[in-house]
Structure 1
């Protein structure tokens, strides 16, 4: 018998990322469908990879979910849809990425076998018959994000000589590079320009 109880902070039921499971009443097989549009979390809780691609603060995140009571807790499955913004890793133009990602997560009941046999960071827990979905959504979206987003697959990037975008430069654009060892000789020769 488990003689210790983990102390889990209470959830804010007014938080749009917090869902109630009271209607499921620990009856395995009971299911509830939930569709909700919530504002993206801000600051340290932002969704995405900071400096690469993120869901803009307060932007809409659409959730289409199924909450199903199972023996060990509530299994939440469905899709999350949102738009992430960042900049192209080659030319620094703005990038917008629309994602529709599947999610699936078991939220364990207090005093369930799952709760007693797993670490708190392995399986999230129900707290007062509620769960916070923000970390599950964050994990699902970040997994599929490119670490080097591109504005288009064939983006040529920037000219290393002048920093201008290659798409804006003439086809014959280039910069003369002279080996510094030859610079002194060049100064002594007459100009051919």
Structure 2
């Protein structure tokens, strides 16, 4: 939660916030994550506008993953940017969902008094910045499809006989003996 009282509700006022926070739950995809308990750095700019508070920021931290080709563990720096509008809630407004809310089209964020809950916005930004297919290197050859050995360690002479897939054996017999049909 970020307190906006020092910002005030006057359009045009701005302040910056730098903070290091601990990830409450892992931000993760199938092959990469920012683990629970890891520290991430937030650089935020809060700007008061007519409708609410515009938050622009970056999230920096470390991600852990495994290479999608050879399955070696890796750790990389992660930086994700985001910008989101947090709308003011009026004291005289009734918080009854409108038709727009019922459709699920309204994805607005609202201030909770003078506080901003940035966790869902940060989670979305970090998860979208995580690599879908992380690689230990752009030239990673991966694993052998036959035996599973890491091809980078196996060497250029690694092989498994003629390499004919047994499922294609019947077709090879037909090709070699076309007159027996």
CA offsets 1:143-168 (integer angstroms, 9 cap, x no match) = 23321111111110000111110011
Contact 2:79 2:129 in 1 (8 A): no
Contact 1:48 1:84 in 2 (8 A): no
Contact 1:48 1:138 in 2 (8 A): no
Partner of 2:61: 82
Q: How many residues align?
A: 161
Partner of 1:68: 47
Partner of 1:20: 3
Calculate the aligned-residue CA RMSD, in Å: 2.5
Q: Give the TM-score normalised by the residue count of structure 2.
A: 0.79
CA offsets 1:80-118 (integer angstroms, 9 cap, x no match) = 1111111011100012221222221111100399x9986
Secondary structure (helix, strand or coil) at the match of 1:23 reads coil
CA 1:82/1:179 → structure 2, altered by over 3 Å: closer, same or farther?
Answer: closer
Gaps of 5+ in 2: 171-181
Contact 1:79 1:102 in 2 (8 A): yes
Contact 2:23 2:40 in 1 (8 A): yes
Q: Which of residues 49, 59, 64 in structure 1 aligns to 2:38?
A: 59
- In the alignment, is residue 99 of structure 1 matched against residue 78 of structure 2? yes
Q: Which of residues 138, 163, 166 in structure 2 aligns to 1:153?
A: 138
- Point out the more displaced range, 94-103 or 163-172: 94-103
- In the alignment, is residue 171 of structure 1 matched against residue 156 of structure 2? yes
Partner of 2:28: 48
Secondary structure (helix, strand or coil) at the match of 2:76 reads strand
Contact 1:102 1:140 in 2 (8 A): yes
Q: Give the TM-score normalised by the residue count of structure 1.
A: 0.75
Query: 2:28 & 2:116 partners in 1: Cα distance?
Result: 21
Gaps of 5+ in 1: 1-17, 183-193
CA offsets 1:38-69 (integer angstroms, 9 cap, x no match) = 01122xxx2231x3111121111100111111
